[in-house]
Amino acid sequence: MRCYFLRDGHIAGVEVLPLGLSDEDAIAKAHAVAAKRKGSFEGFEVWDRARFVFRGALSNTRPNGGWPHPATGPPSGGD
């Protein structure tokens, strides 16, 4: 699985997640990676090859520096 970091609606970074993770474990790992990631990102997505798993948004206005929250559906324009 991969965690893609998004800026202005485009991929601005990627982190390869360990092999064999369940969706839930991959999402938890993505949260941890996002919390430590330096740079300005508006969110991240977790993908398992061509399968969309999760989208989290980062907000600088949140008190803890912006924890991701689940997406309401698949990314627009994607399958």
The tens digit of pLDDT for each residue in 3-43 reads 999 999 899 999 999 999 999 999 999 999 998 888 889 99
* 9 located within any domain: yes
* Residues 6+ positions from 2 with CB-CB distance below 8 Å: 14, 15, 16, 17, 46, 47
| pLDDT value of position 58 | 79
Structural domains in the chain (count): 1
Q: Which residue has the tokens 């998004």?
A: 6
- Lookup: tokens for 41: 């990102």
Name the pTM for this structure.
0.71
Q: Give the integer Cα–Cα distance in Å for 1 and 10.
A: 18
* 72 located within any domain: no
* 73 located within any domain: no
* 65 located within any domain: no
Q: Give the integer Cα–Cα distance in Å for 23 and 77.
A: 22
